[in-house]
Amino acid sequence: MKNRYNLAAVLSAVVLVCCGALILSQKVSAAGEGKITGTVKLDGPAPHMRGIDMSKDPYCVKANAANPAHMETVVVGKDNGLENVVLYLDGWSGQADVSTAVPVYDQKNCMYTPHVLGLDVTQTFKVVTSDQTAHNIHPLPNPMINVGWNQSQPPGAPPIEKSWKNPEVIPVQCNIHPWMHGWFVVVKGPYATTGDDGSFTINNVPPGNYTVKAWHEPDETQTQKVTVAAGQSATANFTFKAK
């Protein structure tokens, strides 16, 4: 009788240890995720960004009176760092980035903030308006890839929550204010967008060999091969030629 109890105890201990090992091993691999960091720079003098004539809408003129708005096709910061570059892993076959972050796309002072919004496929994002003038938010995907829509956002409008099904670079525009032009860059897997100093960090990258792709509007891309070791940080720096 006693032996049988012993056997049961040993068996349950074995099961427990196995379960624990399984859980731990998963945690171990999560902790093994590395990251890719780097800086994107512009080679050459930053091109002149022309000012925007907003006289169509007195509200917009007033909102930008202190700090006149300029085109944002090429935005260069400290040490020629290039802003608004989206970096992602080309040919990513893993799970979609399970980030629960809900990025916000704001219509502020009759401009899009940010100008470029990186997104994972199916990641929810919010479109809001901070302006006291009516906008319409009108993304223009290729209808063969994603389904477009067009919604009004008058002053005080509630946020719109949306997501995109497939990877695509989607231009977005406001028809009321024709200078308002931005981008949704929808990719698969981990991604990052450069800040005003051109730096970026792609988090949650499992160990392995990758091709990092850097996208800058309208359709300029560069790639670079990197190897990410468990728990380590790999580096990828990019340089875009000034035009």
Short-list 218, 232, 181, CA closest to 52: 181
Closest distance of CB 59 from another protein, Å: 8
For another protein, the closer CB: 136 or 224: 136
CB 162 within 8 A of CB 97: no
CB of 61 to another protein, least distance (A): 11
Min dist CB 132 to another protein, Å, is 8
Q: Are 42 and 214 in contact (CB under 8 A)?
A: no
Nearest-approach distance from CB 120 to another protein, in angstroms: 20
Do 171 and 159 meet the contact criterion of CB atoms below 8 Å apart?
Answer: no
Residue window 165-194: x/- pattern of binding to another protein, with contact defined by CB under 8 A: ----------xxxx----------------
**141/72 Cα distance (integer angstroms):** 20
Q: Does 137 bind another protein (CB under 8 A)?
A: yes
Residue type at position 76: V
Structure token digits, residue 191: 């991604």
Tell me the per-residue interface mask from 47 to 86 with another protein, x by CB under 8 A, - otherwise.
---------xxx----------------------------
Under the binding rule (CB under 8 A), the answer on residue 121 touching another protein is: no
Q: Are 193 and 88 in contact (CB under 8 A)?
A: no
Q: Is 134 in the site for another protein (CB under 8 A)?
A: yes
Using the Cα atoms of residue 243, residue 237, residue 187 and residue 160 in order, give the sign of their dihedral: negative
150 lines the binding site for another protein (CB under 8 A): yes
3-state helix, strand, coil in the chain (%, to 5): 15, 40, 45
SS3 19: helix
* Residue 138 sits in the site that holds another protein (CB under 8 A): yes
Output 49 or 145, the one with its CB closest to another protein.
145
The correct pick among 73, 99, 136, 201 for binding another protein (CB under 8 A) is 136
Residues in contact with another protein by CB under 8 A are: 56-58, 133-134, 136-138, 140, 142-144, 147-155, 157-158, 160, 175-178
